Amino acid sequence: MGSETKSADDLELIVPNLHRRYSGVTATNRMVAPKLAKLFRAAWFGTDAPDGIARMGVGDLLKLWRRARPLIWHARRNDEMIVGVLLRLLGWPLKLVFTSAAQRHHTWITRWLISRMDAIIATSVISASYLKREATIVLHGVDTDTYAPPSDRAAAFAESGLPGRYAIGCFGRVRAQKGSDVFVDAMLRLLPRYPDFTAVMVGAITVDQTGFANDLKKRIEAAGLTSRRYSAGTGGSPSTPSPRAMRALA
């Protein structure tokens, strides 16, 4: 285990990341985990580990079997809840916590898994309203040290290479559920009236959303506007815009 955690006996919190694809939940986990590591003796279990938190492997996890003192397993997805439930059944001393950001009705398996948790966190009042049990609301935050407005906004925008003088940005995976089409429709009405403005969408397009994204491009072209790929520079991820991109649009 990493140097931040002295031994398995010292561990208080496990942050599992068991999803094979880098998603928005992964990005959120990576930002929150180092903050948790300052409050608890914590370790990251899985892929895409960020700096600032100890890493643990399967061998480290095996050492925790039947440990006398319980520790927290903080899940963000169904697969992580499933693993937590199974580990506890097999003798791992886990207290199971699940954080829900979903603003939709859950499937029966998700509801059953949630019922097995010791505590639930919701990231908004709306998210909490879709849960069938009491939850503690902890709002999503922003790391203002990383995502801060530039000292010279005009220079940051010029560096981006975007046309015009101002930009309106939409960040997050491009998909129907997130309302990407609503943003495009609004821009199609506004941009012809404000030639100094441009619009930017930053986010991954998964295979199942390729048709949806292509339809958005066709609507843009049909309106007489131009769509093109834009590189916002390094420092981001498929689901997390780089600080440079955010500053260019600040």
CATH code for the domain in which residue 238 is found: 3.40.50.2000
Percent of the chain scoring above 70 in pLDDT: 88
According to the model, what pLDDT value does residue 101 have? Answer: 92
132 with 12, same domain? yes
Residue 3 predicted with pLDDT over 50 = no
Q: Are residues 81 and 159 in the same domain?
A: no
The verdict on 16 and 122 lying in the same domain is yes
Q: What is the pLDDT of residues 27-44, one digit of tens each?
A: 889 989 999 999 999 999
pLDDT tens figures, 91-117: 999 999 999 999 899 999 999 999 999
Q: What is the pLDDT of residue 21?
A: 82
Residue 179 domain-assigned (yes or no) = yes
Residues 18 and 126 in one domain: yes
- Domain, as residue range, for 34: 8-137
Q: Does any domain span residue 147?
A: no
What local confidence, expressed as pLDDT, does residue 241 receive? Answer: 54
Contact in structure between 249 and 34 (CB atoms under 8 Å): no
Which tens digits make up the pLDDT trace of 207-223?
898 999 999 999 988 88
Query: What is the DSSP secondary structure assignment for residue 1, as one 8-state letter?
Result: -
In a domain, 188, yes or no: yes
pLDDT, mean of residues 143-152? 81
Q: Say whether both 55 and 133 belong to one domain.
A: yes
In a domain, 148, yes or no: no
Query: Using CA atoms, how far apart are residues 82 and 111, in angstroms rounded to an integer?
Result: 12
Numbers of helices and strands, H then E, in the chain: 9, 9
Question: Which residue type does 209 have?
Answer: Q
Q: Are residues 65 and 163 in the same domain?
A: no
What's the pLDDT at 55? Answer: 96
Its pTM stands at 0.76
Beta strands in the chain (DSSP E): 13-17, 42-46, 54-56, 71-75, 94-100, 119-122, 136-137, 166-171, 197-202
